[in-house]
Structure 1
Amino acid sequence: MVAKLFDAKYLDPYDHPPSYASHQYIRESSAYRYLIRHGLDQHIPRFYGSWSTIIVDTQGRQRSVRLILTEYIEGTDMAHLRPSDFSPNQRKDLLRQVVEAESRFYTLDLRHRDLVPRNVIVTETRRVVIIDFGLAFIGRSASDIYDFDDPEDLLDGNYISPIVRWWRAQDANDEWALSGWITWSWNQWLVDTWSSDIPDITPAMLKWLPSEEREKPFFYHLFNGCDRTSPKWYVAYKDQMRV
């Protein structure tokens, strides 16, 4: 079992106000309960509950201290694993689990907002477990998208394919890009892995893509005359060009 404490005493006051610990506690405990209620507990540690108490210091000052209890996961976070110890196929399977879990969270309108290698634990059986929901938020935001002409229609409650939401620009420089886990053509892998999503990608979903990425051959071809309901469409497309 893991006890995670939220105590403002141990925060750097220059970086975070005292309320930051309380906000993280509320977000994390709410996220666990929300995911469990919606049947997505297979992607997270078991959640045993949350508690609050008041502590009085030696000078008589009171402060709130909060606690969350979760399952201890036997494993190592991806930031402390060596990608070179895993074959390309094993790494792809781990990333597939990460992307699938996050996509399921987002379908329920939950945004993790800190899904980086250090917050993904890999067990000995190579199961992926997502942790640290202190920045999580229930509800979609206009900050998720790149099209501010229509910021109100965020397709709440709808599944949006990883082909769109996890698509990467060539100059991507985030923690996943720098982690060493991804050594293949990421966008091509997204399209290959989630090709069954292609018939259901709509123009309204493209707002999750930077405008310059929407002009890439894959998305241009997607909305210009092809029959995406045909099972042979993607096979024929792959023969013509690569992502």
Structure 2
Amino acid sequence: MGGHFMSLSPLRPSLPYVPGWKFTVQSHLPPPPFTATQRQRGYTGQELEDLWQLGPAEFCAQYPPLLGEMGSEKINLEIIDLLKVKEPCNSQTFTVKVNQGNFPPHSGKVVAKLYDPLYYDDADNWKSPCRIQDEKYSRETHAYSVLSEFQGSRIPYMYGSYSLDIPIENSNKVRTVRLILLEYIPGVDMQTAAPSDFDQETRQEIMKNIIEFESTVFFKDIILQDNHPRNIILPKGDPKRTVLIDFADVAFNRRFEDRYFPHPDFLLPGQYISPLLRWRTKKTAFSNWIDWEWRPWLKAQFAHTSSTITPEIREVFGPSSDSEDSDDSD
């Protein structure tokens, strides 16, 4: 049972994503990223009626993804290993073999990430999964574009965005699923990794990298609303390096989706904000990686940014790390 309605899980067909499954995708140009005011607020009455009359699979066919623009490139793929394939889940990810020439342009494995509404987590199933996946796909592809200079270093390469048609069992209809192809980063995510396996110096370097990149992304007016250990990979053989792998829930133009601000520019878009302000409290999600005094360390690492803090910035973002009027953790 989830949200206001019965779970859709018993009505869904089995997941088609198994090793050896072969399929063809076609290049696709995504629609512009959703803004805070475009967010899906709930099923319409007609959508609810269609959902229970058609069932979840044909509902997805009835309400396909936003159009965007189809391209001419077609690629044949075959699933190799499953990374995160389950029902329900916000996305389905697995490595694929690309049966086409010299693709990808960079060596290594390729990850397919699918925004499949049929198997979306319906814990909040008062929202249409079709529109939610439109939102995630449009935002993540746009984020990779804005952050293109960091592809291959701080984030994976994104090789392209695509569309896939999947036949519906016992029907002559197909449902459409959007996806992206990404560089595979061998390593372990920080949620799975044991902090005790890393000495303090290494953990401090990891946290410094996380803070530096998050601050750079924020400078580009992108808010990482899911900046969590599960979305940060520590690459094999280079544990001090961090790679961020999920941008489906970012917010653009420094506009949080669930908070009221008196005007659109309240968070001062376009201005660099020192970590001394935005990271002055120790983030709870990373607390098991941190066994040192947070504020003195933060001040020592980012003292060179203090000159960027203007009275206007301080008024919006509060005291810096050397102030005594805020808690040590969020």
TM-score normalized with structure 1 length:
0.77
CA–CA distance in 2 between the matches of 1:188 and 1:145? 31
Cα shift at 1:143: 6.9
Gaps of at least 5 residues in structure 2 are 1-109, 326-330
User: Which structure has greater strand proportion?
Assistant: 2
CA distance in 2 between counterparts of 1:183 and 1:134 reads 31
Match for 2:305: what amino acid?
D
Q: CA deviation at 1:219?
A: 7.4
Residue 175 of structure 1 pairs with residue 251 of structure 2? no
The alpha-carbon deviation at position 138 of structure 1 amounts to 2.0
Q: Note the 1:1-243 alignment, pairs <5 A.
A: 1-16=110-125, 17-18=128-129, 19-36=131-148, 39-41=149-151, 42-58=153-169, 59-123=171-235, 124-126=237-239, 127-141=241-255, 152-168=265-281, 174-177=284-287, 180-207=288-315, 209=317, 214=319, 218=323
Q: How many pairs align?
A: 209
The answer (yes or no) to whether the contact 1:145–1:208 under 8 Å persists in 2 is no
- Indicate if the aligned counterparts of 1:109 and 1:139 stay in contact, CA closer than 8 A: yes
Superposition deviation, residue 66 in structure 1: 0.9
Q: What per-residue deviation string (whole Å, max 9, x for no partner) do you get for residues 166-193 of structure 1?
A: 1117xx6x3223xx10111112211110
Which residue identity lines up with residue 8 of structure 1 in the other structure? P
C-alpha contact 1:167 1:209 (8 A) present in aligned 2: no
Structure 1 counterpart of 2:77: none
For 1:160, the aligned partner's letter is I
SS at match of 2:165: strand
Partner of 1:239: none
Q: Which amino acid aligns with 2:204?
A: K
**Cα deviations by residue, 1:26-84 (Å, 9 ceiling, x for unpaired):** 11111111100xx2323101110111233331234443201111110011001111111
Distance (Å, rounded) in 2 between the aligned partners of 1:121 and 1:47: 16
Q: Distance in 1 between matches of 2:113 and 2:321?
A: 44
Which residue in 2 is equivalent to 1:241? none
**Aligned-pair identity (%):** 36
Partner of 2:28: none
* Structure 1 unmatched runs, 5+: 221-243
On the 8 A contact 1:7/1:21 being kept in 2, the answer is yes
Counterpart amino acid of 2:113? K
Distance in 1 (alpha carbons) for counterparts of 2:115 and 2:259 = 31
TM-score, normalisation: structure 2: 0.58
